[in-house]
């Protein structure tokens, strides 16, 4: 690997010191009693439109996204751009569903999606299914954030044999764990503001400076192999790349706001109006993500893939090294430090929110539901804080000792798993028509079918359905959630006939402002 880039490293460390200070100071921001779970885990539900914009943006557009989407464009071409329709579709969903979820959660002090399902459908086993799915889908996602951090630290030339090379990442993670423990959701909310400013500066610098260096966008696209510029036109009797593109965008969009960390960031808003406004403001991040996807093509045009000085990086990190290599190639060292800090801090913000979300799920829907129903609010908060440490430690151990590829596989599987909570959570916000046991059976069928398709497709998320001689390759999450819904709809009238339904503790008025 190359020598240590001291200028970049100094800027990187200085920015990390800044956000560390900010993370601890955040405990005093809009001060509340951090001994209560909704204060620690949801920031007291006090974030207005602007802070919510930074928080949700920092939460959803993760470091891994900023590394992996351009890496996919670099390696596979146009298919990577599915991230753009995906991030377009999520906002109508946010607009229509989540103000209602916010209203009912505020009214009943729900902190997790499983709290809502428990109250709405009155079935603790269904709530447990939602809880376990949420935790299982989140864990590898936290681990993946570390991959983003690992790549930029490696790219600055900080490396070493065995555990020694991982010390910077361990330090970053200990810092993360400490300020999350003390400040709760206020820490990532305040850090997200710094992170987003850095990310925007980096993205726009890259989109302006690199094309000038490379002689214009037309020249860049001319340098990309023709097969990568557009989707392959499907042959006869198959929906081909078109089907994959559409189902990936739609399935990922439906899954996104079911992730516990998405719901945590949304429920922390101060009103349903703040959420609606953000549905119109958050596309600012989508636009930037689209521009960043193009950076994958810039990296092809700049020829970093075949440059000898980056060979070791590509060998170690694969295509994920494309973005760091391009930055090293195109920017002065001090700005490389800014860009890498943006990615590194961009890993910590979602990792903090994810660990808070997973900890809240465990505390509310496993500990309080099944182990100690009499836990006081103060006990709830202290359990959640400790669980957030365990969750992060687990992710760290995972990334240090298990090949990165496993975290990637599990995160891909996580999307297929989390989407199975769609009928209970997302549709449950609009209707109580479904039978609670039918929802649980539908969840089970969807989950088993999803895992089976994932394995049958050699641990990839795209499975080819064949039907009357036609092939439909597409995202298993979408196929299996349709199966899940069909099961729920067929079983609901049958199971309703068998016996009474549990009480719904929410009423229609709870869902309105």
CB distance 185 to 353 below 8 Å: yes
Near another protein in 242-281, by CB under 8 A? 242, 245-246, 249-250, 273, 276-277, 279-281
DSSP classification of residue 233: P
In angstroms, give the least distance from the CB of 482 to another protein. 15
Residues 6+ apart with CB under 8 A from 293: 69, 70, 72, 73, 80, 81, 83, 84
Pattern 428-467, another protein, x by CB under 8 A: --x-------------------------------------
- Residue from 66, 74, 91, 437 binding another protein (CB under 8 A): 91
In angstroms, give the least distance from the CB of 168 to another protein. 35
- Residue from 36, 84, 205, 489 binding another protein (CB under 8 A): 84
Crossing angle for the helix pair 63-76 and 333-361, to the nearest 10 degrees: 110
The CB density around residue 165, as the number of other CB atoms within 10 Å, is: 15
In angstroms, give the least distance from the CB of 235 to another protein. 14
In angstroms, give the least distance from the CB of 411 to another protein. 24
- Residue from 20, 65, 87, 133 binding another protein (CB under 8 A): 87
Binding of another protein by 425 (CB under 8 A): no
CB distance 265 to 61 below 8 Å: no
CB distance 419 to 254 below 8 Å: yes
In angstroms, give the least distance from the CB of 498 to another protein. 29
DSSP 258-326: TSHHHHHHHHTBS-HHHHHHHHHHTHHHHHHHHHHHHHHHHHHHHTGGG-GGGHHHHHHHGGGGHHHHH
Q: Which residue has the tokens 């403001």?
A: 281
**Which residue lies nearer to another protein by CB, 231 or 389?**
231
CB distance 181 to 385 below 8 Å: yes
Span of 81-89, 153-161, 366-374, 461-469 interacting with another protein by CB under 8 A: 81-89
In angstroms, give the least distance from the CB of 270 to another protein. 16
- Residue from 25, 27, 36, 88 binding another protein (CB under 8 A): 88
In angstroms, give the least distance from the CB of 60 to another protein. 14
In angstroms, give the least distance from the CB of 44 to another protein. 25
Pattern 181-220, another protein, x by CB under 8 A: -----------------------------------xxxxx
Near another protein in 106-135, by CB under 8 A? none
Closest alpha carbon to 459 in 418, 398, 406, 415: 406
The CB density around residue 427, as the number of other CB atoms within 10 Å, is: 16
Query: H or E stretch including 511?
Result: none
- Cβ-in-10-Å burial (0-12, 13-18, 19+) of 305 comes to middle
Give residues in contact with another protein (CB under 8 A).
Answer: 78, 81, 84-85, 87-89, 91-92, 95-96, 100, 216-221, 229-231, 233, 241-242, 245-246, 249-250, 273, 276-277, 279-281, 283-284, 286-287, 290-291, 294, 430, 508, 511-513
């Amino acid at each position: 690997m190359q020598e240590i880039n001291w200028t970049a490293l100094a800027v990187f460390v200085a920015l990390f010191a800044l956000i560390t200070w900010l993370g601890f100071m955040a405990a005093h921001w809009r001060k509340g009693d951090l001994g209560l779970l909704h204060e620690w885990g949801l920031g007291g539900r006090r974030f207005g439109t602007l802070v919510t914009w930074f928080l949700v943006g920092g939460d959803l557009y993760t470091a891994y996204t900023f590394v992996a989407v351009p890496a996919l464009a670099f390696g596979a071409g146009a298919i990577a751009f599915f991230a753009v329709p995906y991030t377009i579709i999520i906002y109508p969903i946010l607009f229509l569903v989540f103000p209602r979820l916010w209203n009912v959660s505020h009214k009943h002090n729900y902190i997790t999606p499983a709290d809502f399902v428990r109250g709405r459908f009155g079935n603790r086993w269904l709530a447990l299914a939602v809880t376990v799915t949420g935790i299982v889908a989140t864990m590898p996602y936290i681990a993946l954030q570390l991959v983003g951090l690992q790549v930029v630290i490696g790219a600055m030339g900080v490396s070493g044999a065995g555990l020694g090379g991982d010390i910077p990442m361990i330090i970053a993670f200990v810092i993360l764990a400490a300020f999350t423990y003390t400040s709760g959701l206020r820490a990532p909310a305040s850090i997200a503001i710094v992170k987003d400013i850095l990310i925007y500066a980096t993205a726009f610098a890259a989109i302006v400076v690199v094309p000038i260096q490379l002689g214009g966008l037309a020249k860049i696209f001319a340098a990309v192999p023709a097969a990568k510029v557009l989707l392959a036109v499907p042959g006869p009797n198959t929906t081909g790349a078109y089907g994959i593109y559409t189902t990936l965008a739609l399935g990922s969009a439906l899954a996104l706001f079911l992730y516990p960390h998405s719901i945590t960031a949304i429920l922390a808003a101060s009103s349903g109006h703040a959420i609606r406004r953000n549905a119109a403001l958050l596309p600012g991040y989508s636009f930037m993500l689209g521009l960043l996807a193009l950076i994958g093509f810039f990296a092809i045009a700049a020829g970093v893939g075949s440059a000898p000085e980056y060979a070791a990086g590509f060998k170690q990190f694969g295509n994920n090294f494309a973005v760091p290599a391009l930055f090293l190639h195109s920017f002065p060292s001090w700005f490389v430090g800014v860009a890498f800090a943006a990615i590194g801090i961009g890993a910590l913000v979602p990792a903090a929110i994810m660990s808070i979300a997973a900890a809240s799920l465990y505390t509310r829907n496993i500990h309080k539901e099944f182990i100690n129903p009499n836990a006081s609010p103060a006990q709830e908060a202290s359990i959640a804080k400790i669980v957030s440490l365990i969750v992060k430690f687990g992710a760290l151990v995972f990334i240090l000792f298990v090949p990165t590829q496993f975290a990637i596989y599990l995160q891909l599987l996580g999307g297929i798993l989390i989407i199975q909570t769609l009928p209970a959570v997302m549709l449950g916000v609009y209707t109580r028509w479904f039978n609670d046991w039918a929802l649980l059976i539908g969840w089970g069928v969807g989950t088993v079918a999803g895992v089976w398709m994932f394995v049958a497709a050699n641990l990839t998320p795209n499975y080819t359905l064949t039907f009357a001689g036609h092939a439909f390759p597409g995202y298993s999450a979408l196929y299996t959630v349709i199966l899940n819904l069909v099961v729920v709809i067929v079983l609901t009238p049958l199971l309703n006939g068998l016996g009474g339904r549990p009480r719904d503790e929410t009423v229609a008025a709870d869902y309105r402002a």
